[in-house]
Amino acid sequence: MNATQPVTTYATAAAVPHRVAAAVAPAGRGHLARFSLRDAPGWLVSLGVHVAAFAMLLAFKIHVDSTNEASIVSELEDVESEQFFDTTIADQVGNTAEVTSLTSAAPAQMAVQAAQAVESIQNEVRQRIEGDFKSPDAPVTDDVEQIAQDDLVSRVESSGGAVENLSEQGGVEGAIDRLAWEIMQSLHQNKTTVIWLFDQSLSLKERRETIADRFENVYRQLESLDEGSKGALQTVVATYGQKFALLTDKPVEDVKPLISKVRTIPNDILGVENVFYAVHTLAAKFKGERAKKRNVLIFIITDEKGDDAEKYLEDTLVLCRRSGIRVYTVGNSAPFGREKSKFLWKYEDGSTDELDVDAGPETVAPEALAVGFWGGHGPDLSRMSSGYGPYGLTRLCKESGGMYYIAQEENRAQKFSPDVMRNYQPDYRPIKDYKASLDRNKAKMALVIAARQSKDDRLDDVGLTRSGFAAYNDTVLREEITEAQKPAADLIFKIDRLAEILSQGEKDRDKVSEPRWRAAYDLAIGRALAMKVRSQGYNQMLAEMKSAPKSFQNKDSNQWRIVPSKAINAGQAVKKLERQAATYLKRVIDDHPDTPWEKLATRELSTPMGWEWQEVKNPTILAANTSPDEARRRIQLARDEVAKKPQPKKMPAAPAREKPKL
């Protein structure tokens, strides 16, 4: 075909769409329309080219989208998987009864056991946090009103503060005076209904009597103010323990009959405090007072945290806010980072006993290790006050516009400036938000898990299993070291596991912005590493002495004692751990002065992390260089002498005393 011949062209999808071709082709005479490209207008050619290009781009886009979708899914799966800790576990030292040296022979067992512990605790961490707010079934007589989800989400800032410490400003009496002032301020605004809600627990008996003594005087002062007309001030008294009860059928103006009822409130011996259910019941009953232009104030009198926060707290505080009901509490300070506080109980025979009460922590879950101090001597910091009330009651007061008054504070010697501690306020967000923050940050999650693990492992007392070893001959020395290593092995395993749990959060430590969380994490990992250094060093010193007993420099010495030392005699790996521990602890001291975390870090660093042997003469044991045979002979003689002496008449054992539930 030469250039002068006409070109026969058929409209195709790749060139010009059928509809376009049909529209522009000249009418045919019983056959397909033919035309020359030379005769086609320019705009038609341009349109065909652009349509073809568009079709190609569309096909390419569909291909790319399908590829990206798979990539996005893969990335989401990677992000989701990062919510879980790496379960790689460090070597365990000395986890057998017969430990002779530092060894890596046990990493497999350590890895399996520690990995199982971490995975188990992490999978259950939400349930474990909820377990801190035990929710025993309350004897519900009416269904608790369920709050709409929108109300739970749309939280408001309270107009009131959170906590005021009156422990040194009158205690319970001072707190009651403050409540009287709150009543007076309320009466300036509107008529007021005051609801006194008393904890029925045994531990609160004395406080109820103190309030009854002051009750009449408070109301006499209020009456003298002559606020409002008749019925301006009405009072309700209620109690709670396992059950809830109203001591008045309806609000009353004359409080004199109530005083005797307060004095005779029965003690609840079951030790269960369903305070949030009680407040919810009262709020539901008196929520209509707002429409009558009456204010409602609820005054909780207690010394514990309550057992049903997880079940009723959120609904209760929303109902109180919605109804304009302010809640105040006269209670105790929460122990710093711990759940239990001590109460001095007096038995009828005059004897006393320190019993545990559920008074904390000041946060949703404990955020501090429940461990003692190993080696050395220093102040007992296990009973430091947090300076705040327990989380549930404090949050209820805060968000309803009330106040938590601390009437009693344990260990007043350890006090911290409110101006400083204001920067370390606990997280008072809803529990579900607290849990979500743990999921987003591995350092926070690791801290909460480690705190729970330290409690489960009962590490409050991590003192040396043994510090003095009889050494009048090498056989006795080896036997005593062997016995000391048995309980030490279990302790070393627990400490190493604790350090490993916390180390898994290190990568997210710098993402933590809140001063409280930063101080808490640094202190916890610093203390855990310091204990690991001490435990491994202790094991190493015992192992070396057992394999090659030292010789006494003094011929009269007959005992070896192991004491803290600045020298680290357990290898380079342990020395590196010692530097890491010191770095974390010094950071706490430098970054968080005049706080409980700084106090604990200083106490931890006050004792060197290494060990050394000291020889001593102990007159209560056999002399040095006594042979095994001679030692056995003398021990038997001593036993025979004791057997010859008349034995004192055995007194009948005192019956086991049943401790009350507070």
383, two tokens: 């009973």
391 close to 364: Cβ distance less than 8 angstroms: yes
d(CA 284, CA 296): 12
Predicted pLDDT of residue 278: 97
- Tell me the HSE value of 2 on the side-chain side, using a 13 A CA sphere: 1
Question: 414 Cβ partners below 8 Å, 6+ apart?
Answer: 379, 381, 384, 385, 596, 599
Question: Does domain 156-334+385-428 correspond to CATH entry 3.40.50.300?
Answer: no
436, two tokens: 């979500």
Of 122, 58, 105, 63, residue with least CA distance to 453: 122
d(CA 545, CA 469): 11
Q: At what angle do helices 309-323 and 431-440 cross, to 10 degrees?
A: 120
Sheet holding 163-165, edge to edge: 163-165, 403-408, 325-332, 294-301, 191-199, 233-240, 244-246
Q: Where are the domains of the chain?
A: 1-81, 156-334+385-428, 456-625
The C-alpha angle with vertex 192 and arms to 237 and 205, in degrees rounded to 5, equals 25
Enumerate the β-bridge partners of residue 341: 357
Q: Tens digits of per-residue pLDDT, 15-69?
A: 333 433 333 333 443 443 444 444 556 555 555 655 555 565 555 444 444 444 3
> Which SS3 state, helix, strand or coil, does residue 246 take?
strand
Question: 156 Cβ partners below 8 Å, 6+ apart?
Answer: 321, 399
SS3 assignment for 154-177: CCCCCCCCCEEECCCCCHHHHHHH
Of 384, 396, 400, residue with least CA distance to 333: 384
Of 571, 215, 531, residue with least CA distance to 376: 531
Q: How many CB atoms sit inside 10 A of residue 59's CB?
A: 9
DSSP H stretches of helix in 34-132: 42-81, 107-123, 125-131
598 close to 539: Cβ distance less than 8 angstroms: no
DSSP state of 202: G
Of 164, 166, 215, residue with least CA distance to 407: 166
> Which SS3 state, helix, strand or coil, does residue 375 take?
coil
Peptide bond into 430 cis (omega under 30): no
Q: How many CB atoms sit inside 10 A of residue 397's CB?
A: 28
Antiparallel, parallel or unpaired: β 468-470 and 559-565: antiparallel
Predicted pLDDT of residue 577: 94
For residue 9, CA distances in Å to 12, 21, 32, 44, 226 come to 9, 10, 10, 14, 107
590, two tokens: 């430098």
> What is the torsional sign of CA 482, 488, 490, 492?
negative
For residue 76, CA distances in Å to 72, 279, 639 come to 6, 44, 74
The C-alpha angle with vertex 625 and arms to 483 and 610, in degrees rounded to 5, equals 50
Of 507, 437, 531, residue with least CA distance to 125: 437
Predicted pLDDT of residue 320: 97
| pLDDT > 90 fraction of the chain, expressed in percent and rounded | 46
140 close to 277: Cβ distance less than 8 angstroms: yes
Predicted pLDDT of residue 159: 33
Sheet holding 468-470, edge to edge: 468-470, 559-565, 610-616
Predicted pLDDT of residue 276: 97
Residues (pLDDT < 70) of the chain are 1-161, 225-229, 376, 411-413, 463-465, 653-656
Q: At what angle do helices 442-456 and 474-503 cross, to 10 degrees?
A: 140
The C-alpha angle with vertex 631 and arms to 630 and 635, in degrees rounded to 5, equals 120
250, two tokens: 């309806």
d(CA 374, CA 364): 28
Predicted pLDDT of residue 648: 77
Largest alpha-carbon pair distance within the chain? 143
DSSP H stretches of helix in 430-473: 431-440, 442-456
Predicted pLDDT of residue 237: 94
129 close to 448: Cβ distance less than 8 angstroms: yes
Predicted pLDDT of residue 81: 32
d(CA 295, CA 144): 22
d(CA 123, CA 109): 21
286 close to 321: Cβ distance less than 8 angstroms: no
230 close to 190: Cβ distance less than 8 angstroms: no
